[in-house]
Amino acid sequence: MAASASSLGQSSSLRIGLVGFGTVGSSVARILADATATGLTLTMIANRNVARKRADWVSPTVRWTESVEEMLAPDAPVDVLVELVGGLEPAGEWVRRALASGRSVVTANKKLIAFHGPELEQLARQNGCQLLFGAAVAGGIPVIPGIEHGLSGDRITRVEGILNGTCNFILSAMESGADYAPVLADAQRRGYAEADPTEDVGGLDARAKLAILMRLAMRVHVAPEQIEARPITTVSSVDFSYAADLNATIRQIARAEQTPDGLAAIVSPMLIPRKSPLAWSTGTENMVVTAGAHGGEVVFSGHGAGGHPTAVAVVSDLVNLSHGLGRPPVTFEAAQVSIEPEVPHYIRFLVCDRPGIVAAIAGALAAENININAILQKPGCASDCLPFVVTVEPCRGSALRRALAAIAQMDFVLEPPLDMQILEK
């Protein structure tokens, strides 16, 4: 019979089955091999191409296998399954079967937790075991335990942050003058970005993480597809130049807020004032800011990406399990993203210059009751390919999209305008 967290006393020795021996999995195994965490024994490792992956520093008592089925067998020497493969399937099936057998699960799989977390948590409760996922958001930063334990007495109304290290690496390098394509290639060489970076640069990775934080911090369960996700691929070096003129920078921000009018959530590149802590995060760092009704703002910051930081979060979950410390029960309500907050926007146009352009743009904005705040144009640009920026006062995104759709049809516009929210708080 597998040991479960609920059956543990003050301390218990746990046998660990590790699924996935990639960047994070090998780091977890290294920490366990170094015996920095007592009460944890690595007994099995499952991975494809075991002969190629086998490491001589792993204890010879560890059983290597290419079959997760062996690890899920009733007589397997595994109390806790550590799933580090990622994705919805087959990882979802493995996690469900482990929980159904009474084995606790530790995972860094943000996609699985975002889409199926409530179902899996219920399965764990029914079988007297635990599902821990402290590494699923912000890697080695203790955001999830910090929210679940440290902020459980507050009512959190807003969560925002930089949740994707790949995008932060790319955008902070572009801030220093680099172009998108070579920076992405560099990120791929360093292992920060996948060969297909769509999940990262398209905002889908951060969207899954935001959905998890909304459930834990704001106590609302939202399907990730409800959260608008905009890519960073439309941002160019000229935008950083204009952002600097506005005493701001650009970062991919995941943001959710509960107001008396409803729930708002988005993942998008945004203009961030230099005075904001979010502007200070560079490279692969992550940052999460929560705003509580009673405790005010709390900032979590640190290395959110990479094998070692994420592995620390995984092993910390295992240590908690070995001491009988599971996750506190969290109640939440199903919710819908229902409102568009009125916020200021940055709009970059690329036009073939001629008289009357500003008047035409101002007219299209005025037709949607949107007021211009400022117009910026750098000298020295060719008139047949002229970038300039308009910032507008707080407005609804839907109204701005209608105005920009009309402007995009005007014959002087060379490409669809780039629109980014300007973060005020």
Residues with catalytic roles: 209
All residues at 6 or more sequence positions from 30 whose CB lies less than 8 Å from its CB, including other chains? 57, 311
Return the DSSP state at 34: T
Asked if 50 and 65 count as a contact pair (C-beta separation under 8 A), the reply is yes
Q: Cα dihedral angle (99, 117, 206, 393), rounded to 10 degrees?
A: -170
Distance of CA 180 to the CA centre of its chain: 20
Asked if 125 and 150 count as a contact pair (C-beta separation under 8 A), the reply is no
Q: Cα dihedral angle (187, 188, 189, 191), rounded to 10 degrees?
A: 90
Please name which of 15, 22, 13 lies closest in space to residue 311, comparing C-alpha atoms. 22
Distance CA 160, CA 147 (A): 13
Distance CA 81, CA 46 (A): 11
> 372-377 and 333-334 as β-strands: parallel, antiparallel, unpaired?
unpaired
All residues at 6 or more sequence positions from 413 whose CB lies less than 8 Å from its CB, including other chains? 349, 350, 351, 407
Return the DSSP state at 417: P
Distance CA 352, CA 386 (A): 6
Distance CA 132, CA 221 (A): 17
All residues at 6 or more sequence positions from 53 whose CB lies less than 8 Å from its CB, including other chains? 21, 45, 47, 64
Return the DSSP state at 127: T
Q: Residue 240 belongs to what H/E stretch?
A: helix 237-245
Ramachandran angles phi, psi of 250, nearest 5°: -125, 130
Please name which of 192, 186, 189, 188 lies closest in space to residue 173, comparing C-alpha atoms. 186
Distance CA 265, CA 193 (A): 25
